[in-house]
A = this chain, B = another copy of it.
Amino acid sequence: MQVFWARGYDSASTRDLLEAMKISRSSLYQAFGNKEQLFLEALRRYRGNLIDRLNHRLEASPSALGFLRELFVETAQESGSERAALGCLIFNSASELGQRGDIAAIEARRSVQAITALFHEAVVRSQAEGDIASDRDALALATYLTLGMAGLRTLLKSGAAPAQTEAAAELLLDTLR
């Protein structure tokens, strides 16, 4: 997962993967079949971890809007760090694989949708909590937040200064109010 995260799907060589997993070539192909299957498992694990963690944070948060605010501000604050340079495996994969027809690309798109679904849940809860007007289109807001996180990740990858990424994140959040 970490190898695909750092290097991307195509550029991650099987030799990189073997070294990181500390197994031999036979074991990789015996256990996963091929590189694509291994990628699918890595992406699904990443997505599972991410969605679970965010769901947990959302449930534990007294305010769904506060959860969203913290998420975007914290991400913006990653500016300049090694973590920022990695980006998000889901958005990385969506960008690299794009509209390809194979299973890997389809799974990447599905993962973006999973992020939108989580944002949708947060928006609906925020509406129930009175922080977002109930007459606003929750799905449109969720898509907007996905767009915002994807854009923020690209900004971080392109080395934007912390002051700029944080200001941009604040502007993003203003739309919810």
Contact = CB atoms under 8 A, between A and B. Distances in A.
A174 B85 CA distance: 30
Identical subunits present: 2
A159 to B, nearest CB: 5
Nearest to A157: B98
B91 A154 contact: yes
Interface residues of A, number: 46
A165 B125 CA distance: 22
A112 B147 contact: no
Contacts of A154: 91, 94-95, 112, 147, 150-151, 154
Interface of A: 8, 10-11, 84-87, 91-92, 94-96, 98-99, 108-109, 112-113, 137, 139-141, 143-144, 146-152, 154-155, 157-160, 164-165, 167-168, 170-172, 174-175
